[in-house]
Each structure stands twice: as C-alpha cells, then as structure tokens.
Amino acid sequence: MNLSKLFETKRMNFRLLDIYDIEVVYRQFSDADMCRYFSEPPCNREEAKEIIEHYQNPEGKDNLRYGMFDKSSKAFIGTCGYHYWDKELKQVEIGYDIWKDYWKQGYMSEALPVLLSICFTQLGVDCIYILTHPENYASQAAVRRFGFKECSFRRFSDDNHQICMELLSSEWKSVYGPGKK
C-alpha cells in the first residue's frame, strides 16, 4: 500500500502536505469562516507546521491528509484524509475542508469517491464515518449523496455538538465497488 502516491481527479491534484504549504494550511485553519465548522480552535503558524508534520509519512499510521490543488491554477483548494483508523474495529473517520472560495462547486463530490476507495480498498475497513457540525448542511448533503447515514458515535468524543454519519463497505460496494459506476 503506497498512501504517499500522488493522484488526480478531473479538476484536482492530490498530494501529501509539505512544509512549503505552511501558509495555506495556516490560512485554512485560522480563518474564522472556516473554523466555525471545525471541532478544533483556530491555529497559529507553529500549529500549522505541526499539522503538516503530523500527517507526513502516513504508511502504517492511523492518519493521513492530502492537500487538494486545482490542476490548472495550482491553487490550494483544501485537504481531505482520515484519522482514528481502528484496525480492530475495521473503521476509520474521514475529514475534509474546502477553502471558502471553493465552497459549493462540487469539489468534495469529486474527491470523496477517491477517499472512500482508499479507505475501503487499501485500509480494508468495514465502516467509514464522519463527524460533521450540525449546521454544516453542505457537508452533510455531500456525504449523503454517497450513502452516508446518521448513526451513533463510532468513537468517544468530548465534542457532543457534532453529528456522526457512517457508510458501510457493503453499501458502498453495491453502488461504487468494482464494475459499478
């Protein structure tokens, strides 16, 4: 399994974040509009550097985060990835964030199939879940289009202001698995 490998979709290139991305990561995770849906407080530049370092060298770790970049302009669009990969329970939590200039343009609908495929086929999980802010209707709608349904929390969280939604492997395979769509 090579999780560090670059890949692309119709409009985006995906790669692991590196230290040269510190300014866009800082912008992303310190902006008030962006942070209203995050479970973490806004970050400073040092914390942005720590975020990047945390997600480097993902092989064998329980977390991974890709930077998403516009193919034509090379502009930073956001990040997506997973964390809390529980090999025993065969489940993983995904997360993503789109820079506000790119909201409601279908970027997550383009990125989610790739992220789901990585989690189901390369990690071999039976369940992918996401915690989303109750007022982040666009995010909830994006994952519902792929079959996610509201569920009880899959892991302990001291943030009870989130909604947990899950997608089971069997449901995903019946629609998007090999030989499908």
Q: Give residue 167's pLDDT band: very low, low, confident or very high (50, 70, 90).
A: very high
How does 75-86 read in b/e, with b if 16+ C-beta sit within 10 Å?
Answer: ebbbbbbbebbe
Other beta carbons within 10 Å of 118: 22
pLDDT value at residue 174: 79
Other beta carbons within 10 Å of 59: 9
pLDDT value at residue 158: 59
Higher pLDDT, 23 or 178: 23
Q: Give residue 173's pLDDT band: very low, low, confident or very high (50, 70, 90).
A: confident
- First-to-last alpha carbon distance for the chain, in angstroms, is 24
Q: Give residue 55's pLDDT band: very low, low, confident or very high (50, 70, 90).
A: confident
Average model confidence (pLDDT) for the chain?
88
Asked whether the predicted pLDDT for residue 39 surpasses 70, the reply is no
Asked whether the predicted pLDDT for residue 57 surpasses 70, the reply is yes
| pTM, to two decimals | 0.88
pLDDT value at residue 153: 79
**Residue 82 CA, distance from chain mean position:** 6
Tell me which residue has tokens 């994006």.
142
Q: Give residue 178's pLDDT band: very low, low, confident or very high (50, 70, 90).
A: low
Q: Where are the domains of the chain?
A: 7-176
Dump pLDDT digits (tens) for 107-162: 999 999 999 999 999 999 999 999 988 888 888 999 999 999 998 877 766 556 78
- CATH assignment of 7-176, given 3.40.50.10490, 3.40.50.10540, 1.20.120.420, 3.40.630.30? 3.40.630.30
6 burial (CB, 10 Å; 0-12 / 13-18 / 19+) is exposed
